[in-house]
């Protein structure tokens, strides 16, 4: 692949290019996505919602990265921006296999689409009610001409079988399926294109506990079989701990902590991560928890606090936190945190 030539990709706004490292399938550097707020008589832009405001991480091939955070912190927008699904980015770089995603032309982008897929949160609204399941799964396969016509049917059968669906379900419509089955259809639709990288946007949040386990196991099996890379977005920390290799914690558009799963769960460093993890209910009636209860709620991303965005709710807030935004630093090997407490 000639595209992998090191770092000849200049980003649109002339930032320093990111050096490409082939072990990473995805490199995200200082990614920003702001949405305009329209108001007034002429629909002028009166402000910006900073949904994603500086996210940096690298994702190794064949691993799973969990992205956690409260609702409204920009997890989903991050996932969609990486896939170039929500218009142009505001800043930063997204390198997929060393190729800046936002530099591609429409035609090149189309060729890249099968390689990066997404599974949406709600299996009830993300499937077209007017298409039979075989068509939902096969539409993109045919569109991208991935398999010859005569093998098309067999291919769809095989994909459905891999995802735990019966081939005779092909002619049925989504409303005939239960929630878990529908999520399997969504997974089959994403995997039919033979992707390398899949964004799983809360794939199990809408499902019951016992169905959740089935879907999580399915995702893990498929990852092993096709050596997929997942970006697993969820607000359920226990699910993220189960499935991920690395974990990123987001707060108000920023990635505040990022590292290997064991580092993050055993030794959380950022005050927000600590508070978040202490809030997880543990199914043990006698467990005593030293819960850090965060006061108030998440500030508006349209008007974020100055300095460190977490300082309004942080127990360790210093004067410096109010004035100066902290930068990401590596505290332990592979364990990054954005906090002034770890500046030494």
Query: Is the Cβ of residue 70 or residue 139 nearer to other proteins in the bound state?
Result: 70
Query: Is the Cβ of residue 135 or residue 241 nearer to other proteins in the bound state?
Result: 241
Structure tokens at 213: 């386990």
Listed as own residue / partner, the contacts of 329-332 with beta carbons closer than 8 Å and 24 or more positions apart are 331/269, 332/259, 332/263, 332/267
Burial 81-119 (b: 16+ CB within 10 A, else e): bbbbebeebbbbbbbbbbbbbeebeeeeeeebbbebbbb
Q: What's the min distance (Å) between Cβ of 256 and other proteins?
A: 14
Query: Is the Cβ of residue 148 or residue 296 nearer to other proteins in the bound state?
Result: 296
Structure tokens at 6: 């090191």
C-alpha distances in Å from residue 38, one per residue of 27, 78, 112, 305: 32, 22, 33, 21
Q: What's the min distance (Å) between Cβ of 274 and other proteins?
A: 11
What whole-number distance in Å separates Cα of residue 237 and Cα of residue 125?
A: 24
Residues in the chain: 344
Find the DSSP H helices in 50-204.
75-82, 106-112, 133-143, 152-162, 179-191
Task: List contacts with other proteins (CB under 8 A).
Answer: 70-71, 178, 180, 208-210, 212-214, 216-217, 220, 235, 237-239, 241-242, 265, 275-287, 291, 293-294, 297-298
What whole-number distance in Å separates Cα of residue 31 and Cα of residue 106?
A: 21
Q: What's the min distance (Å) between Cβ of 246 and other proteins?
A: 15
Helices 179-191 and 152-162 pack at an angle, to 10 degrees, of: 130
Query: Is the Cβ of residue 146 or residue 216 nearer to other proteins in the bound state?
Result: 216
Query: Is the Cβ of residue 316 or residue 329 nearer to other proteins in the bound state?
Result: 316
Q: What's the min distance (Å) between Cβ of 122 and other proteins?
A: 14
Query: Is the Cβ of residue 9 or residue 246 nearer to other proteins in the bound state?
Result: 246
Query: Is the Cβ of residue 14 or residue 281 nearer to other proteins in the bound state?
Result: 281
Query: Is the Cβ of residue 74 or residue 180 nearer to other proteins in the bound state?
Result: 180
Give the single-character DSSP code of 106.
H
Q: What is the DSSP string of 218-244?
A: HHHHHHHHHT-EEEEE-S-HHHHHHH-
Query: What is the edge-to-edge ordering of all strands in the sheet holding 64-68?
Result: 116-119, 197-201, 229-233, 64-68, 246-251, 254-260, 335-338, 328-332
Query: Is the Cβ of residue 69 or residue 114 nearer to other proteins in the bound state?
Result: 69
Helices 133-143 and 152-162 pack at an angle, to 10 degrees, of: 120
Q: Are strands 197-201 and 116-119 parallel, antiparallel or unpaired?
A: parallel
Q: What's the min distance (Å) between Cβ of 26 and other proteins?
A: 25
């Amino acid at each position: 692949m000639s595209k992998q030539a090191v770092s000849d990709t200049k980003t649109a706004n002339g930032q320093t290019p990111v050096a490409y490292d082939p072990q990473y399938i995805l490199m995200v550097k200082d990614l920003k996505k702001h949405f305009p707020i329209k108001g007034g008589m002429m629909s002028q832009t009166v402000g910006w919602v900073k949904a994603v405001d500086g996210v940096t991480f690298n994702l190794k091939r064949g691993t799973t990265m969990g992205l956690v955070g409260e609702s409204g912190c920009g997890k989903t927008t991050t996932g969609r921006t990486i896939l170039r699904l929500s218009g142009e980015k505001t800043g930063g770089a997204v390198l997929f296999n060393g190729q800046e995603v936002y530099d591609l032309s429409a035609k090149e982008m189309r060729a890249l689409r099968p390689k990066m897929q997404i599974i949406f949160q709600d299996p009830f609204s993300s499937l077209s009610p007017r298409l039979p399941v075989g068509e939902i799964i096969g539409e993109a396969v045919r569109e991208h001409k991935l398999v010859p016509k005569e093998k098309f049917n067999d291919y769809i059968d095989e994909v459905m079988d891999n995802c735990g669906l019966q081939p005779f379900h092909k002619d049925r419509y989504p409303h005939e399926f239960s929630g878990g089955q529908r999520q399997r259809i969504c997974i089959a639709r994403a995997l039919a294109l033979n992707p390398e990288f899949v964004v799983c946007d809360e794939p199990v949040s809408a499902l019951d506990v016992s169905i959740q386990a089935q879907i999580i196991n399915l995702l893990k099996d498929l990852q092993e079989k096709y050596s997929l890379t997942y970006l697993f977005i969820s607000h359920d920390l226990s699910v993220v701990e189960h499935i991920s290799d690395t974990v990123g914690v987001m707060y108000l558009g920023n990635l505040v902590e990022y590292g290997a799963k064991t580092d993050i769960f055993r030794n959380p460093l950022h005050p927000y991560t600590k508070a978040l993890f202490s809030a997880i209910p543990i199914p043990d009636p006698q467990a005593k928890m030293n819960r850090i209860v965060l006061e108030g709620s998440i500030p508006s991303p349209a008007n974020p606090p100055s300095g460190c965005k977490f300082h309004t709710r942080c127990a360790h807030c210093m004067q410096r936190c109010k004035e100066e935004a902290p930068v990401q630093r590596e505290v332990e090997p592979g364990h990054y945190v954005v906090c002034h407490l770890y500046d030494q």
